[in-house]
Structure 1
Amino acid sequence: MTEKLTPSDPARIGGHRLLARLGAGGMGVVYLGRAESGELAAVKVILPEYADQPEFRARFRREVAAARRVDSPWAVPVTGADPDAAAPWLATAFVPGPSLAEAVATCGPLPPRGVRILGRMLARALTAVHDAGLVHRDVKPGNVLLDVDGPRLIDFGIARATEETALTSADMVVGTPGFLAPEQARAQPASPASDVFALGCLLSYAATGRPPFGTGAVDALLYRTVHDEPDLDGVPDDTRQLLERCLAKDPAARPTAREVDETLVEDTPHDTADWLPDAVVRLIADRSAAMLALPDIEATALDATTDEQPTEVPADAPRPGSRRRFLLLGGGAALLAAGGGAALWATRRADDTAPTSSSGTRRWILGVQADLTGPQKSVGQAQERGIRLAVEQFNSRKDKPFTLTLKTADDGGDATRAAKVARTLAADRDLLAVIGSTGDETTGASLDSYDEQLVPQLTASSAQSVYGVSEPRHFLQAVPGYTNLPATAAFHVQSQGARRVGVLIDRDGGIPAWQLGRTMFQNLGVLKIAGEPRVVPRLAEDLTAVVAEMAAGRPDGFVYTGTPARAAAVARALAQTDFDGLRVLGYPAAGPDFLTAAGTAADGWQVFAPYIDPSAAPVRAFATAYRKRYGSAPAYWAAEAYDVARMVITRLTEAGGRPSRNRLYDLLAKRAYKGLVRTYAFDEEYGWWLNSYEIFRYEVKGGRYSYAGKVDL
């Protein structure tokens, strides 16, 4: 839906009279504009702070060039662009209708003829894409807009020239889980055959109302895409065979987009909507009527000038939810998304203007978001105390260049509450950065709120590889991820002489269990160690039989990733067998509950964790100061949070004055910091942890976790 222009919005862009806002996203604003010809257009304009970046401008120029090369009535055309303007912009034809995803979700699957017509027109659009030497790489229901005369393929923001795909990083996955090809899931370069696979997934969804590889966790979707056959139940017989060919695991076995067009024998509509169900036609009509009920032209701050550059978006401007790109394991995606009337970017704002205190002097605030009262309160409280100690030590310095204020928010380990407190913290214009949250779910729930306000967000304990479909731009993961740790553990298993290892992945442990277990199995394979994986569902009540069966295979190593309670059950079950080999426990399951519930069966289990023991020599001075301040020894994770706080404080001090949030993020992301626990270094573009080898080993002895030191490789 449209939104009114704000007083600071431009009146005109590139010959377009702007009528309303269509939405906003990470890099700019999308406007509804009317060209001098009277035609409506979706005009997206880059914010100046990004237009000043040469690499970003180069990417935008490539996007424009890619979109211009596609010539098809079923692909949204570019109607104008100026990538070299002070505020680069791109205009495309305006399509007011809903997406295929919305139509199917609202009205149900399309009838067989509708699926055939949809497939034929989209195949022709992809043929044009491929003939232009491009690969779309993100064909999905959300990137198809419906109009009465046919669909429109949009979003060429991540399209790449065929010759450029070889330059894609080997650890990059671009696309949408459930609608990408097996080779993309393996982080291999996409090809036109990858688009055909995605088209097959899209048509199956249109015919049945569900993706052919199901839904759920990202890793599970990728695994099923690579290894499982698609679920085509409900697909009409006259198109099922074609979709089976499109969904072949081998790219060479798939038809081309042109062959899909030729195989689907169906007349395409001519200015008629008879190929769509009545309910979808009504949805298109309603959406078109609502979108085309144009607001009155409102006065804007630039009406009296000839300047067409956008200015800063006011803090109270409406902020639609941002659409993010899927990323996995250090991968990346293009920055922009083209087409239609979708709200594709998140509005950004500057953060270094307008003092907020009554005295006119801005405060220097460091935020902490943590679980202080919920299921991970022991970790959250330890981290909050570690951060507070770092701030107090800094403020006690006589030569401090500023006084730092700590502002704490308790999210209770609840995602809904986490999003709420994040919005509140992020709204404080004096907030420079925030450390948190404690857990994966709460961290993921808070990302958008901080990112929309450019607040650098650092987590010292959330180790998830991806968060839904988010692509945070101001997020730094100051902890080795779940996919980093297993490599260290696998090398240790190899050093102990293990040759066959059973890996029990308990889905009750959620994403951490899956990522740790799956990556452990993969790393064992790289080291030529025979891995024997078993995956048990959340609803499995008794794991005893599974453990006994795995032990009967005579492995010399056993790995469990899951929950503390079920880990205890596994430990007891394994103790009842004659297994006497190496035992490894995924660290999220290694809490005090495991020791209590497992009893003597816990002895001998080893844990590889990203947190150092508070009594270890590198953090002994910190532990002494902590004990003096709080009257007790620090818990796990306190030293890591203390390190991260000192890193932020160091960068603030080095800035030579109050930095903007963008400037602070750059200082944090682009420069390594040597802390007490480890050296913190990040991928400059995506904020992922780079150093994967500073992992610490523990072994249960006498009912407690005995620290065995850093794992040396």
Structure 2
Amino acid sequence: MTEKLVPTDPSHIGGHRLLARLGAGGMGVVYLGRAESGELAAVKVILPEYADQPEFRARFRREVTAARRVDSPWVVSVTGADPDASAPWLATAFVPGPSLAETVAACGPLPSRGVRVLGRMLARALTTVHEAGLVHRDIKPGNVLLTVDGPRLIDFGIAHTTDETALTSAGVVIGTPGFLAPEQARARPASPASDVFALGCLMAYAITGRPPFGTGAVDALLYRTVHDEPDLDGVPDDTRPLLERCLAKDPDDRPTAREVDETLADERPEDAADWLPDPVVRLIADRSAAMLALPGIEATALDARAEGQPEDPHPSDVPADVVPAPSATGRRRFLLIGGAALLAAGGGGALWAAQRDDGASPAASPRVRRWVLGVQADLTGPQRAVGRGQERGIRLAVEQFNSREDKPFTLTLKAVDDRGEATRAAEVARTLAADRDLLAVIGSTGDATTGASLGGYDERLIPQLTASSAQSPYGTSDPRHFLQAVPSYTHLPATAAFSLHAQGARRVGVLVDRAGGTAAWQLGNTMFQNLGVLKIAGEPRVAPRLAEDLTPVVADMAANKPDAFVFMGTPARAAAVARALAATDFDGLRVLGHPSADKEFLSAAGAAADGWQIFAPYIDPSASPVRAFTGAYRNRYGSTPPYWAAEAYDVARMVISRLTEAGGRPSPEELFDLLVKDTYKGVVRSYTFDKKYRWLESYEVFRYEVKGGRYAYAGKVDV
């Protein structure tokens, strides 16, 4: 479906008059455009903030090259492109039909013959793709458009050649969970066989109305894709054997796209005029008719350029604290709105004073801009002990800076409480980000609240740093101004695996409790992968979220005589596992994921907690590197700092250091560049961020062991 153009949209791109919006993605906007020939086209335009980044421009250039290499009637054709333009764009033939995903949602599953015709035409499309030396890597219902004469495969945004290195980081899952192959779920390179697996998923979805590996959380989908058999109930006998071959776990056991085409040879595309049921044909006809009844072309701010007017700056180029002058095209609207506002404000002078970027009237002295550092934390919710400790650590760093006689500015701290609730986290983030004086924010405390708050700060280009949330990733698109100043869940297990290896472990049982959410999954899955790298036999088990008793699972794992036992889950279930393991004859190493290591585990496990090791990203307050901080904290607040307070203090000092180095008040974007530019040596760790992917490169990990009912600090882990 189409949407109206907005005032900031361009009016023309590459000879196309833009008529409407078709959709917006993470890196750009797709418009409906009309070429000079009169043909309609889907015009994809990269957003300005990405066009200036070489890696994104290279990715887009690769998409253009890949799409141009494929010549098939079942693949949308490229009609024009300019990846080197100031606003890179790609135009493809416009297909008015709905996607397969929309069709199944609106009309239900397709009949068996229709799915076989669909499968054969897409197999022919993939044969062309693979013969061109490409792998699509994202075959899914949303990337298949339906017309009465057959499907059309779209979106080569993440396609790559079979011999190239993809412009993505190692260990990143590429594709859509639920419609990707087991090797992609394990973050391994995709091949033509991966596309065939996805085709099998897509056909199963089309014929049953559900993905063969279910729905739900991403980690659950990836796990089921790797370990479970597909759900093919309802697939007819004439199609089921083919889908079983396509969905084989081993890529070598899958047919090629050409073999799928040959297997479905009884369904000839040229005789497939009636391949879709009547409701779907009507849906396609309605979409086509809507294109013939497009509304009048919306005027945009950029239409003025054709009349010789100066180009308005793109919104992303205008500082958030500056009110831009109205363009000629919007002057009448500005005068109408402004007149009402003037009366409401009590006169022209009042409105002018309110809109000046320095906040002062012409007769008054200019206001000195505040230098504001924000803190978002759980101050009253389930993680309030950690959140309060972090807020106090950051406040201590600010107070120490402000007490300096040579300070170049005075820093104001502004704290907000998200109560550990994701919905509230998003609300308070938007509120805090609206402060025009805010330079950066540290927070939030937990994974859910950090993820929920990302958009609020990123929209305002405010640098956001977390000292304690280690989830990776938080969503489908990476925030542009976010830094994890803590080793992520996918980096921590490497140190733990090396330590187990050094302690003599050669066979390790890994129990992942789904009740532990994303943290447990990422820690457990990465631990298993790292054990494999070290040639340690890993035996993974996954406990369902609703499992009431894990004792049988623990007993079964212990019966295999492992050298070590690893558990990733919740504190309460960790205690139950510790007690169950203590009841067996297991006497090997025990490792507990740090999210489970709290007071609840100690009290609930009792004596069974002794001997468990924890590999954590936080340092103990008694450790020598942070004794000065601990002393200052105790003097200021009258108590010993909790875990994570020193890390927050470190991050605050890093931000303050970069602000001081700026030599003047930096913009938020300038501050972000300073944060990632050089290494900062903190009291807990050195903070160095990868220049390209912005992840923390220093992985200091600290080991604890439960002794006598307490977590005894065993020092920094050296591997």
Normalising by structure 1, report the TM-score.
Answer: 0.87
Aligned length: 679
Q: CA RMSD in A?
A: 2.9
Residues 10, 308 of structure 1: 8 Å contact kept = no
Amino acid at match of 1:696: F
Offset of 1:610 from its aligned partner?
Answer: 0.6
Residues 26, 477 of structure 2: 8 Å contact kept = no
In the other structure, the counterpart of 2:625 is 618
In the other structure, the counterpart of 1:706 is 712
Question: What are the within-5 Å matches in structure 2 for residues 86-125 of structure 1?
Answer: 86-125=86-125
In the other structure, the counterpart of 1:635 is 642
Deviations 1:202-242 (A, max 9, x none): 11111112222233443443343334332222222222222
Offset of 1:126 from its aligned partner?
Answer: 1.9
In the other structure, the counterpart of 1:414 is 421
In the other structure, the counterpart of 2:64 is 64
Distance 1:518 1:297 in 2: 52
Offset of 1:592 from its aligned partner?
Answer: 0.9
In the other structure, the counterpart of 1:379 is 386
Offset of 1:458 from its aligned partner?
Answer: 1.9
Residues 257/662 of structure 1: CA separation in 2 closer, same or farther (3 Å cut): farther
Residues 288/627 of structure 1: CA separation in 2 closer, same or farther (3 Å cut): farther
Question: What are the within-5 Å matches in structure 2 for residues 100-499 of structure 1?
Answer: 100-165=100-165, 171-264=171-264, 265-268=266-269, 274-288=274-288, 293-306=293-306, 312=313, 314=315, 351=320, 353-354=322-323, 358-359=359-360, 362-499=369-506
Percentage of pairs with the same residue: 80
Are 1:688 and 2:695 counterparts?
Answer: yes
Question: What are the within-5 Å matches in structure 2 for residues 428-577 of structure 1?
Answer: 428-577=435-584
Amino acid at match of 2:712: S
Distance 1:308 1:28 in 2: 26
The answer for unaligned runs of 5 or more in structure 2 is: 324-355, 361-366
Distance 1:309 1:165 in 2: 42
Distance 1:508 1:298 in 2: 50
Residues 367, 407 of structure 1: 8 Å contact kept = yes
Distance 2:319 2:164 in 1: 34
Residues 305, 311 of structure 2: 8 Å contact kept = no
Offset of 1:474 from its aligned partner?
Answer: 2.6
Deviations 1:220-271 (A, max 9, x none): 4334333433222222222222222222333343333233223222243789
In the other structure, the counterpart of 1:332 is none
Offset of 1:674 from its aligned partner?
Answer: 1.6
Deviations 1:589-626 (A, max 9, x none): 11111122222332222211110111211111212222
Distance 1:100 1:547 in 2: 44
Residues 389, 626 of structure 1: 8 Å contact kept = yes
Offset of 1:465 from its aligned partner?
Answer: 2.5
3-state SS in 2 of match to 1:472: coil
Amino acid at match of 1:358: G
Deviations 1:304-362 (A, max 9, x none): 32489985555xxxxxxxxxxxxxxxxxxxxxxxxxxxxxxxx9976474475623765
In the other structure, the counterpart of 2:5 is 5
Residues 235/555 of structure 1: CA separation in 2 closer, same or farther (3 Å cut): same
Offset of 1:24 from its aligned partner?
Answer: 3.3
Amino acid at match of 2:145: L
Comparing both chains, which one has the higher relative contact order based on Cα–Cα distances under 8 Å and sequence gaps of 6 or more? 1
Range moving further from structure 2, 594-603 or 216-225: 216-225
Range moving further from structure 2, 133-142 or 663-672: 663-672
Normalising by structure 2, report the TM-score.
Answer: 0.87
Residues 365, 404 of structure 1: 8 Å contact kept = yes
Deviations 1:245-300 (A, max 9, x none): 2223333433332332232222437895x433344344444555556653322333
Amino acid at match of 1:266: E
Residues 352/89 of structure 1: CA separation in 2 closer, same or farther (3 Å cut): farther
3-state SS in 1 of match to 2:79: strand
Deviations 1:389-447 (A, max 9, x none): 22233333333333333333322222222233333334444433322222222222233
Deviations 1:474-520 (A, max 9, x none): 32221112222222222322333344433332222122222222333
Larger Cα-atom Rg: 2
Residues 13, 309 of structure 1: 8 Å contact kept = no
Residues 311/639 of structure 1: CA separation in 2 closer, same or farther (3 Å cut): farther
3-state SS in 1 of match to 2:158: coil
